[in-house]
Amino acid sequence: MKISAVPYVALKALRRNTMRTLLTALGIIIGVGAVITMVGLGQGAGAEVEEQVNRLGQNVILVFPGERQLGGVSIGGGSANTLTVEDAIALREEIPEVVAASPEVRSQRVLVYGNRNWATPVYGQSHDYLQIRDWPIEDGRMFTEEEVGRAALVTVIGQTVVQELFEGSDPIGETVRVRGLPLEVIGVLAPKGMSLMGSVQDDLAIVPYTTGFQRISGRSHAMVLNVQVYNEESMDIARAKITDLLRERHRLAPNQDNDFTIQTQEEVAQVATETSRVMTWLLASIASIALFVGGIGIMNVMLVSVTERTREVGLRLAVGAKGPDVLLQFLIEAVILCLLGGLGGILVGVVATEVIASYAGWPALFSVEAMVVAVGVSAAVGVFFGFYPAWKASRLDPIIALRRE
Amino acid sequence: MDVLELKGIERTYRTGAVEVKALRGVDLTVGEAEFLAIMGPSGSGKSTLMNILGCLDSPTAGQYLLNGQDVATLNRGQLARIRNETLGFVFQAFHLLPRTTASENVELPLLYRDEQLSWKEIRDRAREALGIVGLGDRLDHTPTELSGGQKQRVAIARALVTKPRVLLADEPTGNLDTRTSLEIIELIQRLNDEGLTILMVTHEPEIARFAERVVILRDGLIRSDRRRTPLRAADSLADWSEESEDAMDEALGDRMETETTPPLEVGR
Ligand SMILES: Nc1ncnc2c1ncn2[C@@H]1O[C@H](COP(=O)(O)OP(=O)(O)OP(=O)(O)O)[C@@H](O)[C@H]1O
Ligand SMILES: [Mg+2]
């Protein structure tokens, strides 16, 4: 058979049934589009996660109470009571590489201002916490070490709290009440946006840990120690020194396990990106199911089409087409159908990713690999699901095929 | 040399437990450039015989030599090649591809050629074949835009486009009126004059009169095989236009006059 006639004949056959061709391709369009959208969104989310981890602050080490599996990203909620305020102070004073250390407690409390109230997480921190988080003050000031020392009744609040309690009016110098304690608002934090876990980071109030521990949270131990190290090169030394110091302070025998867990910002980032990669794969596999269903659609249509076009096949055989010619024709038809669907799917996927990403506030990432793979897979789907109907057609007996109505 | 030679051809169809002997020992020899009509009552095995001659079906017994070669020794691919290059088949039911233009329908066999023709050559040969059957001005018409006679001409052009040695036509005029049938036969006679061997099935004696040899089948056997001087379809066509059309014209004219009614008054 004439080689260039193979795609020609296949295209003609597809054009003779435009509607069916389009509807069949739609299955693949949706499948490929879904794959590309899912992978794009997953990667966009991953990039966003990375970005947020970087926003955690520079050269940060987190010390959690108790032994934790790496991978438990959930920050806070320390189950064990092993870390104290004194531990934090010791880290700051005895380890030269540590420039700041803040013992943290967190509790959900209702803030009251006038006749308005708002439930928000209240954090007890030290005066250098904002430096650790690399978080600027927008208005007013952060509390001082001296204020921490005398457990001053002051607070620095996030943007959400400002909006909810003060409705835009200036909160500096006003007094809010928490569990009956009057706290003077001395500062407002710059907006920070969403956190890793999707919560609003601007919904918080920070008080000196001296105020926060007993009087607001009712806790004696820190949920986490936020530690900042002098520079990136010092991270490993600092980590070792922190471990030694805490073991010493906790009087752990050499054969005993740590009763705390140290995580660097980088490790948190790793876990987070790992999570987003798993998510990407999960989404991609769901989308692959859509592609698979699209493939079955192709097979179904090709089978119907072989049955419907039995007379056409019979005629082609009668005028000299050989079995392999017919096989090739139906196979190429299926592949063209899938490739058309693949290209359409890329288009749909790109548009869908762009739209969804812009709503979610993520960057829209397109991976060329995902597109190549999607189109490759759709061609493979075409061959795979097109083969059986094509083979069936090529096995037809010309006169039986011609006689069929 | 003989083009076709059948020796003791039998064909038995099995449908479940029932056996139908469609052909029961047919001997037939057809020479170069013969024009042969095959007649016989319905169910006598004419189509079965044509299918075997066209290498679309194989006999259950007997030998079929095509150009001296035993067809039974050929594989599927070689048979396909013979169907493509040596034989032209015209079906009673036309079997044109739907939604496909006349020229594309005619191109079809050329696409399955073993030697690689250029697209231009394929187009030119399809146009030439359609020109021979008098459809040079209908190249881009799809089957639904063609009359029955025109469709049959496209089917004949498709059979001719490969320049076959033998044209096998199974009731090529079966679906056509007398006038159109005559035109098709006239075309077939012209092709035969140019040296094409033609076997044509028909159940109409008027059509068989145009063949130089008439074979009659009954119950799967040849009952009669006669030669005679054929009528010329061209002559019949010439007569036709003078007598029949004039007569029809008059008859119609009379009726028009008597049936003419005044136009309806439409009030304003
Ligand atoms: N595929 C088949 N399966 C079973 N029997 C068949 C088949 N094809 C034909 N026959 C039988 O073989 C016999 C001859 O059939 P064939 O089609 O050759 O007749 P024919 O002479 O062409 O008739 P017609 O003038 O009606 O076309 C018939 O009895 C028919 O029933
Ligand atoms: Mg018949």
- Look at residues A160, A189, A190, A192 and name the one whose alpha carbon lies nearest to residue A51: A192
What integer pLDDT is reported at residue B268 of this predicted model?
45
- The C-alpha atoms of residue A98 and residue A243 are separated, in whole angstroms, by 13
User: Which tokens in the block code for residue B4?
Assistant: 């076709």
According to CATH, the topology of domain B1-86+166-176+185-247 is Rossmann fold (3.40.50)
For all residues of chain B together, what is the average pLDDT? Answer: 89
Q: Parallel, antiparallel, or unpaired: how do β-strands A181-189 and A154-157 relate?
A: parallel
Which amino acid is it at B98? P
Q: Measuring CA to CA, which residue among B94, B70, B95, B97 is closest to residue B82? A: B70
Q: What is the per-residue pLDDT across B122-142, written as a single tens digit (0 to 9) for each?
A: 999 999 999 998 999 999 999
Nearest to residue B106, comparing CAs of A299, A195, A315, A382? A315
For B265, residues 6+ apart whose C-beta sits below 8 A from its C-beta are none
For A95, other C-beta atoms within 10 Å of its C-beta total 21
B172-198: buried (b, 16+ CB within 10 Å) or exposed (e) per residue?
bbbebeeebbbbbbbbbbebbeeebbb
Banded pLDDT at B187 (limits 50, 70, 90): very high
ipTM: 0.87
Q: What is the mean pLDDT of residues B239-259?
A: 63
B56 lines ligand 1 (CB under 6 A): no
pLDDT in the model for residue B212: 94
Query: What does the pLDDT read at residue A330?
Result: 87
Question: Among B93, B33, B49, which Cα is nearest to B201's?
Answer: B49
Ligand 1 atom at shortest distance from the alpha carbon of B203: 25
For B35, residues 6+ apart whose C-beta sits below 8 A from its C-beta are B188, B189, B192, B197, B198, B200, B210, B211, B212, B213, B230
Residue B76 to residue A3, Cβ atoms within 8 A: no
Ligand 1 contact via B47 beta carbon (within 6 Å): yes
Quote the pLDDT of residue A365: 77
Q: Are residues B99 and A16, on separate chains, in Cβ contact within 8 Å?
A: yes
Distance B48 CA to ligand 1 centre (A): 6
Q: How many helices (H) and strands (E) does chain A have?
A: 13, 10
Q: What is the mean pLDDT of residues B169-181?
A: 87
Taking the Cβ of residue A319 and every Cβ of chain B, the question of whether any pair is shorter than 8 Å is answered with yes
- Crossing angle for the helix pair A323-360 and B76-85, to the nearest 10 degrees: 100
Distance CA B209, CA B207 (A): 5
Neighbours of A273 (CB within 10 A): 15
pLDDT of residue A199: 56
Dump strand ranges (E) for chain B: 2-15, 18-31, 35-39, 61-66, 69-70, 87-90, 166-170, 197-201, 213-218, 221-227
The answer to whether A243 and A205 have CB atoms below 8 angstroms apart is no
pLDDT at B264: 53
Supply the pLDDT for residue B251: 62
For B98, the closest chain A residue by CA position comes to A16
Residues of chain A with pLDDT under 70: 52, 54-56, 68-79, 193-200, 405
Beta strands in A218-302 (DSSP E): 224-229, 260-264
For the record, the structure tokens of B192 come out as: 């035969």
Q: Convert the pLDDT of each residue in B47-104 to its tens digit.
A: 999 999 999 999 999 999 999 999 999 999 999 999 999 999 999 888 999 889 999 9
Least confident of A159-173, B101-115, B205-219: A159-173
Contact B158 A321 (CB under 8 A): no
User: Domain limits of chain B?
Assistant: 1-86+166-176+185-247, 92-163
Q: What is the pLDDT of residue A75?
A: 43
Question: Is A312 part of the contact surface with chain B (CB cutoff 8 Å)?
Answer: yes
Burial of B237 (0-12, 13-18, 19+ CB in 10 A): middle
Report the alpha-carbon distance of residue A77 to residue A107 in Å, rounded: 10
The secondary element (H helix, E strand) that includes residue A326 is helix A323-360
Indicate whether B244 pLDDT > 70. no
Partner A, chain B 101-130, Cβ-Cβ below 8 Å: 104, 108-114, 116-117, 119, 122
